[in-house]
Chain A
Amino acid sequence: MTNFINTYLPNVVANWEGDNGFVVAIWQTLYMTFVSAVFAGIFGIILGILLVVTTDDGITPHKNFYNILDKLVNLFRSIPFVILLAVIGPFTKLVVGQTIGPKGALVPLIIGTAPFFARQVQLALVEVDHGVIEAAEAMGLSPLKIIFRVYLKEGLPELIRSGTFTIISLIGLTAMAGAVGGGGLGNMAIAVGYQRFENDVTIISMVFILILVFIIQGIGDLLVRKLEH
């Protein structure tokens, strides 16, 4: 086994430890993914809920507010991520003090993902049976209670499904952020594997990312199965 690794993956072995090694890169990817997932998740859920409740047949319709928010979400979703990284550089520096490294990648990752997730949340919650919402209104529940007790409760399986989907595409973005200085497995694959012609590094970076994706998909599916009746 050791022999096999040494023979076929020499550069992976050489790049395993150290500041720019695989171990650090894996941690950086996990850090970027989960920290931005938490923040993008919170912002996305808030924005998604606002979109659902302020739409025309929502529980607190507000045409102008909805239109502005809707356009903003579309606008941010339309900016290619690589360009977003560069454009919001000064803002990133203001918030986290640096534009490179995993920390510098967080701000663009959150800004790039939150609108995407907001749309997913909106689609998930719109699916909640309108009749159930009406029943809750007829029971005299306030809009806030309807959001927490009906929308988020009834829409939970669908929310987890879109959350899983969003985290997986977020992993894709961390790889992209990595390639332009964010670190992590993306950086490993491009800066080390691709640019130095160390193909084994590129392939193993990809394998690690795939494993991460499968684990997250598996957890998401498991949760959905447990929640759906």
Chain B
Amino acid sequence: MVEKGGIIQLKNIDVTFHNEGKTIEAVKDVSINVNKGDIFGVIGYSGAGKSTLVRVINLLQKPTSGEVIVNDKSLTKLSVKDLRKERKNIGMIFQHFNLMRSLTVFGNVDFPLRDSKLSKQERKEKVNNLLNLVGLDDRANNYPSQLSGGQKQRVAIARALASDPEILISDEATSALDPKTTTEILTLLGRLNKELGITIVIITHEMDAIKQICNRVAVMEDGALIEEGNLLTIFGSPKKKLTKDFVNTSTQISSVLEEIKKSGIAGAISGRLVELNYIGNVTNEPLVVGLYKKFNVEANILFSNIERLQGTTVGIMLLALTGDDEKVSEAIKYLNELNVNVKEINIAESEED
């Protein structure tokens, strides 16, 4: 899975904590390769070890074993002083913003520049440019306590960018924000990725955040990396159960199925229940009409969700197919040929899950 030459390469990372005689394996043998320009998402429930894993990238968390290579330098082998220098190349933003309360917005963004070789005037210009970039130029003299959560995170982003890093790590940066602000912050991150070419690693427990900007995804469970790939693959054909759960929560199909089960209309649905997943142009074909015309199979659409991910259409549909049994089977075969992923759902059976 690991290709050569990514800007961030984690190799066989293990992180083990010893706490009061108990041994906790927070990260188990995880290898990740993030390419330059990626927006790499790491998703998992809390306690899955994703926070620990991203802290390994800038060695805020020292791995028990394994190697960390950033920009072709093995961080695990650097001296403390050299490591500090490399850290300036890795910006980081946090769930709770972590701004200095005693400094103004300007002071916070200027904070990492204090040791730079820039003159006072150059620093001032730089800070103002950064504030402009995140859309907070009119807030320079406010204190963090006077800002909203979204604004605080913008300040934190400006601060993280002050040392011109090539990498930005986002540790649950949108988890404390409301949905609208989350979208705004993610949009900003996406823009920074495009405009500055900055590589971004995002960790989150929200599939929607991943969906919005990531091009690659890794799924973590109990400290292990269980699935990794580009967004479309993960979203279109998730393999592991947890990955499916995340995708299902995001598309809401699981809640629809739940609803069907609970409401007792399961018995009223005639025919065979199928779930369709498809990526790309299939959507342009009039699927449902095609089924009727070709096989005389009627498709009752119980649920449908279509999204654009990275400019590609990804769809999910729940259909009840009625018609001649043989014909229905033929119809399913036909759908498979169209590269539609078809899964039959037995309501009664899935109840035992």
Q: A residues engaging B (CB < 8 A)?
A: 129, 131-132, 134-135, 137-142, 145, 149-150, 153-154, 156-157, 227, 229
B84 is contacted by which of A129, A142, A150, A154 (Cβ under 8 Å)?
A142
- The 10 sampled A-B contact pairs (Cβ below 8 Å) are A131-B94, A132-B98, A132-B100, A138-B91, A139-B87, A139-B88, A140-B87, A141-B84, A154-B102, A227-B102
List residues of chain B with CB within 8 A of the CB of A139. Answer: 87-88, 111-112, 163
Residue of chain A at shortest CB distance from B142? A229
Q: Is the CB of A229 within 8 A of B114?
A: no
- Which residues from chain A contact B84 at a C-beta distance below 8 Å? 140-142
Q: A3 vs B60: C-alpha distance in the bound complex, in angstroms?
A: 74
Judged by a CB distance under 8 angstroms, whether B143 is at the interface is yes
Question: In the complex, which of the residues A138, A145, A229 contacts B60, with contact meaning CB atoms closer than 8 Å?
Answer: A138
Interface range on chain B: under 10, 10 to 19, 20 to 34, or 35 or more?
A: 20 to 34
B56 on interface, CB distance cutoff 8 Å: no
Q: Within the complex, what minimum Cβ distance (angstroms) separates A183 from chain B?
A: 40
Residues on A with beta carbons closer than 8 Å to the beta carbon of B115: 145
Residues of the A chain whose Cβ atoms lie less than 8 Å from the Cβ of B100 = 132, 150, 153-154
- A23-B87 Cα distance, complex, nearest whole Å: 60
Task: Known contacts A134-B60, A134-B94, A137-B60; decide if A153 and B88 are in contact (CB<8 Å).
Answer: no
Which residue of chain B has its CB nearest to the CB of A145?
Answer: B115
Q: Do A135 and B88 have beta carbons less than 8 Å apart?
A: no
Q: How far is the CB of B196 from chain A (nearest CB, A)?
A: 18
* Complexed CA–CA distance, A140 and B146 (Å): 27
Closest residue on chain A to residue B96 by CB atoms? A131
Q: Which residues of A contact B319 (CB under 8 A)?
A: none
Give me 14 other A-B pairs in contact (C-beta within 8 A), A131-B94, A140-B87, A229-B145 excluded: A129-B98, A134-B94, A135-B94, A137-B87, A138-B60, A138-B91, A138-B92, A140-B85, A140-B163, A141-B84, A154-B102, A229-B102, A229-B144, A229-B146
Given A138-B90, A140-B88, A149-B114, does the pair A131, B98 have CB atoms closer than 8 Å? yes
Q: Say whether B99 faces chain A, with CB atoms less than 8 Å apart.
A: yes
Q: Separation in Å of the A131 CB from the closest CB of chain B? A: 4
Contact of B98 among A134, A142, A145, A229 (CB under 8 A): A134
Instruction: Determine how close the nearest CB of chain B comes to the CB of A126; give it in whole angstroms.
Output: 16
- Interface flags for B35-53 (1: CB within 8 Å of A; 0: not) read 0000000000000000000
Cα of A142 to Cα of B144 in the assembled complex, Å: 24
A161 smallest CB distance to B (angstroms): 14
> Which residues of chain A come closer than 8 Å to B145, judged between CB atoms?
229
How far apart are B183's CB and chain A's nearest CB, in angstroms? Answer: 24
| Cα A145 to Cα B111 with chains together (Å) | 11
List chain B residues, Cβ under 8 A from A141: 84
The 5 closest A-B pairs by CB, nearest first: A140-B87, A131-B98, A229-B143, A140-B84, A135-B98
Report the minimum CB–CB distance from B114 to chain A (whole Å).
7
Q: Which residues of B contact A (CB under 8 A)?
A: 58, 60, 83-88, 90-92, 94, 96-103, 111-112, 114-115, 143-146, 156, 159, 163
* Contact (A153, B87) CB under 8 Å given A131-B96, A138-B92, A229-B143: no
Cα distance A153–B58 in the bound complex, in angstroms = 25
Which A residues lie within 8 Å of B91 (CB)? 138
Residues of A within 8 A of B163 (CB): 139-140
B103 partner residues in chain A, CB cutoff 8 A:
153
A207 to B39, CA, bound (A): 69
Bound-state CA distance A131–B156 (Å) is: 12
C-alpha spacing A224/B90, complex, angstroms: 35
Chain B positions within 8 Å of A140 at CB level: 83-88, 163
The complex places the Cα of A139 from the Cα of B144 at a distance, in Å, of: 19
CB nearest to A129 among chain B residues: B98
Report the bound CA distance from A189 to B85 in whole Å: 61
A132 CA / B159 CA spacing, docked (Å): 12
Please report the C-alpha to C-alpha distance between residue A88 and residue B2 in the assembled complex, in whole angstroms: 68
- Rounded to whole angstroms, the CA-CA distance of A147 and B83 in the bound complex is 19
Q: Hey, which chain A residues are within 8 Å of B58, CB to CB?
A: 138
Residues on A with beta carbons closer than 8 Å to the beta carbon of B112: 139
B101 pairs with A229, CB closer than 8 A: yes
Residues of B within 8 A of A137 (CB): 60, 87
Closest to A138 in B: B92
**Which residues from chain B contact A129 at a C-beta distance below 8 Å?**
96, 98, 101
Q: Are B102 and A153 neighbours in the complex by a CB distance under 8 Å? A: yes
Given A140-B85, A229-B143, A229-B145 in contact, is the A135-B92 Cβ separation under 8 Å? yes
A58 to chain B, nearest CB (A): 14
CA distance A195 to B146 in the complex (A): 58
Return chain B residues, CB-CB under 8 Å to A131.
94, 96-98
Q: A227 CA to B101 CA in the complex, in Å?
A: 10
Partner of A149, one of B85, B88, B111: B111
Q: Which residue of A lies closest to B85 (CB)?
A: A140
Which residues of B are found within 8 Å of A150, using beta-carbon distances? 100
List the B residue with the shortest CB-CB distance to A156. Answer: B102
Of A129, A132, A149, A227, the most chain B CB neighbours within 10 A belong to A132
Shortest Cβ distance from residue B117 to the other chain A in the assembled complex, whole angstroms: 15
- Residues of B near A142 (CB, < 8 A) are 84
- Bound together, the chains give a CA A131 to CA B101 distance in angstroms of 12
